[in-house]
Structure 1
Amino acid sequence: MGRWERTHEALRQAAFELFPEHGYSATGTAQIARCAGVSEMTLFRHFPTKEALVVADSFDPLMADAVRLRPAEEPAMRALAEGIRSAWAQVGDEEAQALRERLRIIVQTPVLRGAIERGSEDTAIALAGALVDRGVSETQARVATAAVIAGLSTALLDWVRTDQTALDAALGSALDVLGGE
């Protein structure tokens, strides 16, 4: 892991130590940077906003690559659902727990309502690009991607609120519906 990645991770860890303790709204970016041992300017080089600390993730390239690898004859929605299913199968328990904590902060913080949708732009671009690479028109790719992101957002937020369902079961059920099963 290089210096950039170590700093990036230190900032996220600092944020997720401070947010539960002090609350998202009461935790300042200077406080997060100080806890991570860097300047506030460095924090903003890694995350353009405080909200980005909560919504940014590293799953987009993994999901897009998995969609690109789906069979060429597969319809767009099925390619998205099965590609995402394949990518999420690689997410370990530790990553799933970190995701749950991030989403729990979003659910518990009124100012973050809508954060998942705002933070999904990069995901939408990556997934739509993967579909276009497979020969789907741009408009159809954007429509399919928007549907999948909305469905997965709903499933993920329900997963966080219940604590009773495993991530793979929550996503699997949503992906079944989205893929036409």
Structure 2
Amino acid sequence: MTERPAPGLRERKKARTRKLIQSEALRLFREQGFAATTMEQVAAAAEVATSTVFRYFPTKEDLVLMDHLPAFVDALTSAPAELGPVQAVRLALRATVAGQDPAERAEGLERERMMLTVPELWASSLDNVTGVVATMRGILAARAGREPDDPDVRNITGAVLGVLLAVWFDAVRRPEVDLATEADRALSQLEGLRLE
């Protein structure tokens, strides 16, 4: 895997501000509900201007949407070429989870639960899932030297995402389920699928 240069001071400061805003928003959503929380309240809790909140998160829904896709995309893109598509996805998921500290994993699970249980977030969640599907399909196609609209690429991507969504829904209903472990176990049952 290619190492990226360490982010500069400005980028680190932006990342801290973004994380603080999102953490405060999640706390407020938990305490008073998604619908009852305003962007102004989020700004006050994070001790930033409302315009700063909107700069990082153009909509209130964006405060909840997952943002670990870049780490997953990097890991999937750089997975060894000899791995089949499901093996590459499993490796990328493991690398993404390993790159998060326990607080980040807990916050991610809280956001995932909100995306599935707060009606106002459904449309944004579906847009997010659609983007993940297109991204994964493109990467798996490129790894196999195929086009993203190839039926085999579509089918394998659909099988992988179907399993991940099923695990995701289960983990939201049953908090004791370890999402990362269960996703890895479930995907192991698909490992025979290949793009030949």
TM-score > 0.5 by shorter chain: yes
Q: Which residue of 1 aligns with 2:163?
A: 151
Instruction: Decide whether the 8 Å contact of 2:90 with 2:184 is kept in 1.
Output: no
Instruction: Decide whether the 8 Å contact of 1:8 with 1:46 is kept in 2.
Output: yes
How far the C-alpha of 1:116 sits from its partner, in A, is 3.0
* Superposition RMSD in Å: 2.6
The letter of the residue matching 1:38 is V
Is 1:98 aligned to residue 110 of structure 2? no
How much identity, in percent, do the aligned residues show?
31
Moved more, 31-40 or 119-128: 119-128
Is 1:137 aligned to residue 180 of structure 2? no
Q: Which residue of 1 aligns with 2:5?
A: none
Is 1:40 aligned to residue 75 of structure 2? no
Structure 1 runs of 4+ with >6 Å offset? none
Distance change >3 Å, CA 117–CA 178, structure 1 → 2:
farther
SS in 2 for 1:120: helix
What is the correspondence of 1:1-181 to structure 2 with a 5 Å cutoff? Answer: 2-58=12-68, 60-134=69-143, 135-140=145-150, 141=153, 144-180=156-192
Deviation string 1:88-110 (CA, Å, 9 cap, x unpaired) is 34444222211121122233322
Q: TM-score, normalised by structure 1?
A: 0.81
Q: TM-score, normalised by structure 2?
A: 0.76
Higher relative contact order (CA 8 A, sep 6+): 1
The letter of the residue matching 1:105 is M
Task: Identify unmatched segments of 5+ residues in structure 2.
Answer: 1-8
Instruction: Decide whether the 8 Å contact of 2:43 with 2:53 is kept in 1.
Output: yes
Higher helix share: 1
How far the C-alpha of 1:125 sits from its partner, in A, is 4.4
CA distance in 2, matches of 1:137, 1:87: 26
